[in-house]
């Protein structure tokens, strides 16, 4: 079956009966009714949810302001506080003694905090920040590993109206410096070190290095949380232990009531396609979508134990750890470690131990765990009791049908819907996603837009293309949690997301998509520049990757890019990680031929890769995404001159460039 030809033989998974009857959105009729409500009264739809899900200090009277499009404003005359909504509001609803966070450290130690305790901790940090003169509108960079302190630090910034910018703890001093400089932060919150996979890795010394690189004069203080007591240098007058700063601070702190448009945070995109952009998010619109999507996409209920495995350094960790689940009074897991330590059964063991009911992770993690599980029964999900699970989720990249099926069968026991959530740092929350009690699922498709989201597939001129035909993914109307601007670069914001060729009308996601000819379901075909044109045939790279990975005996992971070709216009180049050691010489040639034939059989001869290269891994961002722009250079055998600041494994470039 070829997605580009519009499919006819879809494999469909209906929502399980138990869920279909009890979910927040039960059945397709309920989903459609929500979509129609949004269509009939777009502003009324969002305003209704904003009143129901959030507590406002001053109620808003205006909903959407389009007068300075594409710089849209939502709920602009309303005031609120994000941390009040995530903490105090739940305590007022009687959830003060409910567990907010179950933290599991790398080594397995478990710490729990209730809503009351998390509020007290947040307020102490907030008061501590205030005592250093940090105030509303200041930026604070947070460079810390997964921890209760990390979540509380974000909440504390929100409480005083400071704008946080979390930088993933795997970034180098140079990347950290660039982000500190770009934000003009007055303070950095960090820890002495972090522990991942049994190893202690530095944090504070990297902050020192970053600040020494220059350009960070805005930083007055560095606040250090003690993680494991590593010996670190403290610069007098600048560096302070967090414990000392908060020791004498009261455990309550009046929230700073801010306008709904006040910037809650800045976050840099993962850099898959270019230099990372400082995405600016609002308070009211962002928090609304964080809460609404957590409620409907994950069907979060009072007794659920929710686990999003993303790091708080990525948008997924912001929306589905720090804000969404807490805004709803949920109980969630925060995990410090890695999925493969002490062994590749760690996720399954934690689901078993904590009776996790909703599990949200990335395709890259699933694919690597499949590889491990197939090699060793002890770390296979079947060796654990995963019966607590009721909903699974996927995010970050398209999930290929083979990985989807494995996740569904082996992790979800065939009974848990998988919500394949398409969204971006810029969108703040889910855009196209199934709702677990309503949407029939098709592996590899993110299905249908979240209610209220006007997603569409258009051609280069902005005209709708018919279902069954590939095109460019856009969002036709502004939505509450959308990016407000790129920090310090409004021109780049306009050019990237509302370019002239679309008459500045639609939000341009940068991804290609196709809607199924019969059902209208969306499949993401890759980034816009990942659509290949081979002898006049247009194909998404994603489709060829899926075909390769569906050769489950051999292939663990695959990435496909195009390169200019004299005869066919573009030629297909595939980078493949096998389930066995990397072959070379004649063996590599034989396996390449086998895979070429396989793709020919799965999609058609036109999709056969001209060039297949084998690697131990693929070049990935620190958030685990394949960096295709680097593969494009490798395919063309050209030197890499692009921004590689977010590349996790630079050594792999040499291997993939070489074995051609």
**Residues within the annotated binding site?**
196-199, 316, 396-398, 420-425, 511, 527, 535, 538, 549, 555
Look-up of token digits 């302070």: 240
The CB-of-273 to Mg ion minimum distance in angstroms stands at 6
Residues from 230 through 269 that contact Mg ion (CB under 5 A): 269
Q: What three-state secondary structure class fits 539?
A: strand
What is d(CA 644, CA 621) in angstroms, rounded to the nearest whole number?
9
625 binds, among ligand ATP, Mg ion, none (CB under 5 to 8 A by kind): ligand ATP
Q: Which two tokens stand for residue 656?
A: 């993939």
Nearer to ligand ATP, 67 or 641 (CB): 641
The CB-of-488 to ligand ATP minimum distance in angstroms stands at 16
Provide the pairing of β-strand 73-74 with 64-65: antiparallel
Nearer to ligand ATP, 128 or 540 (CB): 540
Task: Show the site string, 393-432: x = touches Mg ion by CB under 5 A, - = not.
Answer: ----------------------------------------
What is d(CA 355, CA 328) in angstroms, rounded to the nearest whole number?
19
The CB-of-272 to ligand ATP minimum distance in angstroms stands at 3
The CB-of-527 to Mg ion minimum distance in angstroms stands at 8
Provide the pairing of β-strand 569-578 with 555-565: antiparallel
Nearer to Mg ion, 262 or 625 (CB): 625
324 binds, among ligand ATP, Mg ion, none (CB under 5 to 8 A by kind): none
What is d(CA 321, CA 299) in angstroms, rounded to the nearest whole number?
15
Nearer to Mg ion, 209 or 529 (CB): 529
For the chain, the residue count is 660
Question: How far are the Cα atoms of 345, 577, 615, 616, 655 from residue 581, in angstroms, in the given order?
Answer: 22, 9, 9, 7, 14
Question: How far are the Cα atoms of 12, 18, 180, 315 from residue 31, in angstroms, in the given order?
Answer: 18, 17, 43, 26
Nearer to ligand ATP, 202 or 324 (CB): 324
Nearer to Mg ion, 269 or 439 (CB): 269
What is d(CA 612, CA 576) in angstroms, rounded to the nearest whole number?
7
The CB-of-654 to ligand ATP minimum distance in angstroms stands at 23
What is d(CA 251, CA 429) in angstroms, rounded to the nearest whole number?
31
CB nearest Mg ion: which residue? 269
437 binds, among ligand ATP, Mg ion, none (CB under 5 to 8 A by kind): none
What is d(CA 273, CA 642) in angstroms, rounded to the nearest whole number?
10
The CB-of-211 to ligand ATP minimum distance in angstroms stands at 25
What is d(CA 306, CA 407) in angstroms, rounded to the nearest whole number?
17
Provide the β-strand partners of residue 421. Answer: 395
Nearer to ligand ATP, 511 or 602 (CB): 511
Nearer to Mg ion, 269 or 421 (CB): 269
421 binds, among Mg ion, ligand ATP, none (CB under 5 to 8 A by kind): ligand ATP
**Residues that contact Mg ion, how many (by CB under 5 A):** 1
What is d(CA 17, CA 469) in angstroms, rounded to the nearest whole number?
33
The CB-of-28 to Mg ion minimum distance in angstroms stands at 30
Nearer to ligand ATP, 196 or 492 (CB): 492
Nearer to ligand ATP, 492 or 538 (CB): 492
The CB-of-486 to ligand ATP minimum distance in angstroms stands at 11
276 binds, among Mg ion, ligand ATP, none (CB under 5 to 8 A by kind): ligand ATP
325 binds, among ligand ATP, Mg ion, none (CB under 5 to 8 A by kind): none
Nearer to ligand ATP, 81 or 433 (CB): 433
Q: Which two tokens stand for residue 175?
A: 């990347």
Provide the β-strand partners of residue 538. Answer: 533
Are 13 and 408 in contact by the 8 Å Cβ rule? The answer is: yes
DSSP 322: I
Residues from 266 through 295 that contact Mg ion (CB under 5 A): 269
CB atoms near residue 651 (< 10 Å)? 10
288 binds, among ligand ATP, Mg ion, none (CB under 5 to 8 A by kind): none
Are 53 and 291 in contact by the 8 Å Cβ rule? The answer is: yes
The CB-of-495 to ligand ATP minimum distance in angstroms stands at 14
523 binds, among ligand ATP, Mg ion, none (CB under 5 to 8 A by kind): none
348 binds, among ligand ATP, Mg ion, none (CB under 5 to 8 A by kind): none
Of 324, 333, 306, 298, give the one whose Cα is nearest residue 388: 306
The CB-of-277 to Mg ion minimum distance in angstroms stands at 8
Q: Which is it for the CA torsion 366, 370, 372, 378, positive or negative?
A: positive
What is d(CA 491, CA 556) in angstroms, rounded to the nearest whole number?
41
Nearer to ligand ATP, 195 or 446 (CB): 446
CB atoms near residue 461 (< 10 Å)? 8
290 binds, among ligand ATP, Mg ion, none (CB under 5 to 8 A by kind): none
Contacts of 580 (CB under 8 A, 6+ apart): 554
Look-up of token digits 């939505």: 479
Q: What three-state secondary structure class fits 59?
A: coil
446 binds, among ligand ATP, Mg ion, none (CB under 5 to 8 A by kind): ligand ATP
Strands of the 455-458 sheet, one edge to the other: 455-458, 471-475, 507-515, 522-527
258 binds, among ligand ATP, Mg ion, none (CB under 5 to 8 A by kind): none
Q: Binding site for ATP: what residues are annotated?
A: 396-398, 420-425, 511, 527, 538
Q: Binding site for CoA: what residues are annotated?
A: 196-199, 316, 535
What is d(CA 651, CA 647) in angstroms, rounded to the nearest whole number?
10
What is d(CA 354, CA 102) in angstroms, rounded to the nearest whole number?
8
Whether the ω angle into residue 70 lies within 30 degrees of 0, i.e. cis, is: yes
Q: Binding site for Mg(2+): what residues are annotated?
A: 549, 555
364 binds, among ligand ATP, Mg ion, none (CB under 5 to 8 A by kind): none
Phi, psi of 240 (to 5 degrees): -135, 145
Identify the helix (H) or strand (E) that includes residue 574.
Answer: strand 569-578
The CB-of-275 to Mg ion minimum distance in angstroms stands at 11
The CB-of-603 to ligand ATP minimum distance in angstroms stands at 19
> Which positions touch ligand ATP (CB under 6 A)?
269-274, 276, 395-398, 420-425, 446, 509-511, 524, 527, 625
The CB-of-216 to ligand ATP minimum distance in angstroms stands at 22
Nearer to ligand ATP, 349 or 625 (CB): 625
Half-sphere exposure of residue 134, counting CA atoms within 13 Å on the CB side? 33
The residues binding Mg ion (CB under 5 A) are: 269
């Amino acid at each position: 079956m070829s997605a580009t030809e519009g499919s006819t033989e879809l494999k469909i998974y209906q929502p399980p009966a138990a869920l279909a009857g009890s979910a927040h959105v039960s059945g397709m009729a309920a989903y459609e009714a929500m979509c129609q409500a949004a269509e009939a009264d777009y502003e009324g739809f969002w305003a209704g949810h904003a009143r129901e899900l959030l507590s406002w200090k001053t109620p808003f009277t205006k909903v959407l302001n389009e007068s300075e499009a594409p710089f849209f404003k939502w709920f602009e005359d309303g005031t609120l506080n994000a941390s009040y909504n995530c903490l105090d509001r739940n305590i007022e609803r009687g959830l003060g003694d409910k567990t907010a966070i179950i933290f599991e450290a790398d080594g397995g130690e478990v710490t729990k905090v209730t809503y009351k305790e998390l509020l007290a901790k947040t307020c102490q940090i907030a008061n501590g920040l205030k005592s250093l003169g940090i105030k509303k509108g200041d930026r604070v960079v947070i460079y810390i590993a997964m921890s209760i302190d990390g979540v509380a630090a974000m909440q504390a910034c929100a409480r005083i109206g400071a704008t946080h910018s979390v930088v993933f703890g795997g970034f180098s001093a140079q990347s950290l410096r660039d982000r500190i400089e770009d934000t003009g932060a007055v303070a950095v919150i960090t820890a002495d070190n972090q522990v991942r996979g049994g190893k202690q890795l530095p944090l504070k010394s990297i902050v020192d290095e970053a600040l020494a690189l220059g350009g960070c004069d805005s930083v007055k203080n560095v606040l250090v949380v003690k993680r494991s007591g590593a010996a670190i240098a403290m610069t007098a007058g600048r560096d302070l232990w967090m414990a000392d700063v908060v020791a004498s601070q009261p455990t309550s702190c009046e929230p700073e009531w801010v306008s709904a448009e006040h910037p809650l945070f800045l976050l840099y995109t993962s850099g898959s396609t270019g230099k990372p952009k400082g995405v600016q998010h609002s308070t009211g619109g962002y928090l609304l979508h964080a809460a609404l999507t957590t409620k409907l996409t994950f069907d979060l209920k009072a007794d659920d134990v929710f686990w999003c495995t993303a790091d708080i350094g990525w948008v997924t960790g912001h929306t589905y750890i720090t804000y969404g689940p807490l805004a709803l009074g949920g109980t969630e897991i925060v995990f410090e470690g890695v999925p493969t330590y002490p062994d590749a059964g760690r996720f399954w063991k934690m689901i078993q131990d904590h009776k996790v009911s909703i599990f949200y992770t990335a395709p890259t993690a699933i694919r690597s765990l499949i590889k491990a599980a197939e090699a060793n029964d002890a770390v296979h999900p079947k060796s654990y009791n995963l019966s607590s699970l009721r909903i699974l989720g996927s995010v970050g990249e398209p999930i290929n049908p083979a990985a989807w099926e494995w996740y569904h069968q082996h992790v979800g026991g065939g009974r848990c819907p998988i919500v394949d959530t398409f969204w971006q740092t810029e969108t703040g929350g889910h855009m196209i996603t199934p709702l677990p009690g309503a949407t029939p699922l098709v592996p590899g498709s993110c299905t249908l837009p979240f209610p209220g989201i006007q997603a569409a597939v258009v051609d280069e001129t902005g005209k709708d293309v018919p279902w069954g035909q590939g095109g460019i993914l856009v969002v036709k109307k502004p939505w509450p949690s959308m990016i407000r601007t790129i920090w310090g670069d409004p021109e780049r914001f306009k050019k990237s997301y509302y370019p002239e060729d679309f008459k500045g009308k639609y939000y341009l996601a940068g991804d290609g998509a196709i809607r199924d000819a019969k059902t209208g379901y969306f499949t993401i075909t890759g980034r816009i520049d990942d659509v290949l044109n081979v002898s006049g045939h247009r194909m998404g790279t994603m489709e060829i990757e899926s075909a390769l990975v569906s050769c489950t005996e051999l292939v663990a992971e695959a990435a496909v890019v195009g390169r200019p070709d004299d005869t066919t216009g573009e030629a297909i180049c595939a980078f493949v990680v096998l389930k066995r050691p990397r072959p070379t010489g004649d063996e590599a040639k034989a396996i390449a031929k086998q895979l070429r034939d396989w793709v020919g059989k799965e999609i058609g001869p036109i999709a056969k890769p001209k060039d297949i290269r084998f690697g131990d891994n693929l070049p990935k961002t620190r958030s685990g995404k394949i960096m295709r722009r680097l593969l494009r250079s490798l395919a063309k055998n050209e030197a890499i001159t692009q921004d590689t600041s977010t590349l996790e494994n630079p050594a792999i470039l040499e291997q993939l460039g070489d074995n051609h």
